[in-house]
Chain A
């Protein structure tokens, strides 16, 4: 007897966020990346549309990384000392379609470079690399307020994705994104209620919900990944049932989380596998943007993703 497969149909969908502006839309990026827009859980092609596949991008810093294990650093050779070169390798050699740049150099513990120097770096990066950019601060709230406002201005009209905004600190960055045409990363601490609240606070300031990407917090395999997984599923289910304040795409910073766990630090080859396992799991929980560190891991995940996307 034939088995009848029961499919779910949902009424809602995820917002489509467009990253990167080409010359046509007033920017200088070579391409536009669309994320979100789906009306079904990942790879459930029978249940709804998945117009935009998830995207895998590599990340660079604007200074030599202090805490990356040698096995990871080795992949990039000497390019660490020249972040522009590093960025170019990510795009041309490793095929990153979107690039995440962390402006770490201004952090008090990372050398406290003047904010204007980091902004000048970003300006030249925008000239040298033309894929859409994800730009994050250094993690020091005071520095980031100044840094991200200035970074947003030099990247005006490039439709970058800026982060991160939290429940307690979202106003300055939202205002910058509004003024300069960027999208924003809304972060919450593995908490669907706070995720919804940050989204509503940001959209109440007038930023279109189509310009918000949620960071539900990233956790590595073995370090709480399943909590993030279930939070993402719950938010997505609400989005599909019509909750517009949870209907934003997700970004996950896979590399950052994986390369600080002891398994990855002790064995780079295990680290690559760890990063692949974490990333592919997050693809199944609904990740739309994966920010990764190891080029081999990123390549493998992109390959796996293209296999899964074959309907």
Chain B
């Protein structure tokens, strides 16, 4: 499973402040801690309050790369901010994200082609997030087809069925899980699938429990990547155990420790 660390996001108060005040050590520690905890890729989001997303993205990418050699997932609604980051990345990056709208896909896939990146494709469009698995699969197929039209490989696309909070959209949990299963049938080899995990527990009590329960269910349905908080040790333990049960690692009594030595 590919783990993308979610914590470098200006939406979080301390990160937002670190971005505004250019506190490098805060960001660099977050980067290093997440990698140490198992993240292979780090999400980089300037946050909703960024007054100058281009400059902030540039500063974040430089700051992170000074302290870590993890790949980056550039997370912004603004293509010019993403491109600012793409100009600087040292390793192959992921763009987070495009919707299934043609105009947005054209812009993002052009960037992906130009900078040789992978892309997260959200199965939503201007009419919003679908209620059903079928509509999600329809949009997923549209994203894959469009990506291939732009000369991208299907397996460089991470399809995101969009997880919604269980306390406001309880019917959507199952739809998302089924969508993950069905996305895998769209192409051969199957496209990658991804979820932004923490959304499932927004506003709930016992957030960590809800997160790890959902993650384990999604992993069993074939999920290939997740944006999550790798510093949540119980979440990571649950993920490692789920992958063990799916025979992705060889068992030993110290299997948690063994996984972390990888």
Interface of B is mostly: loop
Q: Check B250–A200 contact: CB distance below 8 A.
A: no
B257 an interface residue at 8 Å Cβ cutoff? yes
Which of B250, B252, B253, B257 meets A234, CB within 8 Å?
B250
How far is A245 from B249 in the complex, measured between Cα atoms in Å?
A: 11
Interface residues of B in 192-217 (CB under 8 A from A): none
The answer to whether A200 and B252 have CB atoms under 8 Å apart is: yes
- Judge whether A204 is part of the interface by a CB distance below 8 angstroms: yes
The reply to whether the CB of B262 lies closer than 8 angstroms to some CB of chain A is: yes
Segment from A48-56, A104-112, A191-199, A292-300 that makes contact with B: A191-199
- Which of B238-262 touch A at CB < 8 Å? 249-254, 257-258, 261-262
Could you say which of B250, B253, B254, B257 contacts A243, with CB atoms under 8 Å apart? B250
For A193, A194, A196, the residue with the greatest tally of chain B CB atoms inside 10 Å of its CB is: A196
Chain A min CB distance to B165 (Å): 34
* Complex CA distance for A234 and B254, rounded to whole angstroms: 18
A204-242 vs B, CB cutoff 8 Å, 1 = contact: the mask equals 100000000000000000000000000000110010001
Q: A9 to B138: give the CA distance in the assembly, Å.
A: 34
A53 to chain B, nearest CB (A): 27
CB of A243 to closest CB in B, whole Å? 6
Q: Are A196 and B262 in contact (CB under 8 A)?
A: no
CA distance A247 to B258 in the complex (A): 12
Give Cα A197 to B250, complex, Å: 10
Q: Is the CB of B250 within 8 A of A244?
A: no
Is the beta-carbon distance between A242 and B250 smaller than 8 angstroms?
no
Do B251 and A193 touch (CB < 8 A)?
A: yes
Chain B residues, Cβ within 8 Å of A242: 262
> How big is the B interface, by class?
10 to 19
> How far is it, in angstroms, between the C-alpha of A170 and the C-alpha of B65 when the chains are bound?
41
Q: Are A204 and B250 in touch, CB under 8 angstroms?
A: no
Interface check A246, CB cutoff 8 A? yes
Identify B250's interface contact among A196, A201, A203, CB under 8 A.
A196
Q: Do B262 and A244 touch (CB < 8 A)?
A: yes
Tell me the minimal C-beta distance from A244 to chain B in angstroms.
6
Identify the closest chain A residue to B257 (Cβ).
A200
Across the interface, do B258 and A200 meet the contact criterion of CB distance under 8 Å? yes
Say how far B187's CB is from chain A's closest CB, in angstroms.
Answer: 20
A151 to chain B, nearest CB (A): 29
Inside 8 A of B251's CB, which chain A residues have their CB?
193, 196
- A197-B254, A200-B254, A201-B254 are known contacts. Are A238 and B261 too (CB-CB below 8 A)? no
| B257 pairs with A204, CB closer than 8 A | yes
The answer to whether A238 touches B249 (Cβ under 8 A) is yes
Does B257 lie within 8 Å of A196, measured CB to CB? no
**Across the interface, do B249 and A193 meet the contact criterion of CB distance under 8 Å?**
no
Query: Which B residues are CB-close (under 8 A) to A245?
Result: 252, 258, 261
Bound complex: CA A112 to CA B257 (Å): 41
Q: Which residues of B contact A200 (CB under 8 A)?
A: 252, 254, 257-258, 261
Of all chain B residues, which has the CB nearest A239? B250
Closest to B258 in A: A245
Chain B, residues 54-71, CB within 8 Å of chain A (1/0): the string is 000000000000000000
**How distant is the Cα of A246 from the Cα of B250 in the complex, in angstroms?**
9
Q: Hey, which chain A residues are within 8 Å of B258, CB to CB?
A: 196, 200, 243, 245
CB-defined contacts of A246 to chain B, threshold 8 Å: 250
- Give the chain B neighbours of A204 by CB distance below 8 A: 254, 257
Closest chain-B Cβ to A96's Cβ sits at a distance in Å of 34
Give chain A interface residues in 128-151, CB to chain B under 8 Å: none
Other A-B pairs beyond A200-B257, A245-B252, 13, CB < 8 Å: A193-B251, A196-B251, A200-B252, A200-B254, A200-B258, A200-B261, A234-B250, A238-B250, A242-B262, A243-B249, A243-B250, A243-B262, A245-B258
Q: Give me 25 A-to-B residue pairs in the complex whose CB atoms sit less than 8 angstroms apart, sorted by A's number.
A: A192-B250, A193-B250, A193-B251, A193-B252, A193-B253, A194-B252, A196-B251, A196-B252, A196-B258, A197-B252, A197-B253, A200-B254, A200-B258, A200-B261, A203-B261, A235-B250, A238-B250, A243-B250, A243-B258, A243-B262, A244-B261, A244-B262, A245-B252, A245-B258, A245-B261
Residues of B within 8 A of A (CB): 249-254, 257-258, 261-262
Chain A to chain B: the 9 pairs with minimum beta-carbon distance, closest first: A196-B252, A197-B252, A245-B258, A193-B251, A200-B254, A238-B250, A193-B252, A197-B253, A200-B258
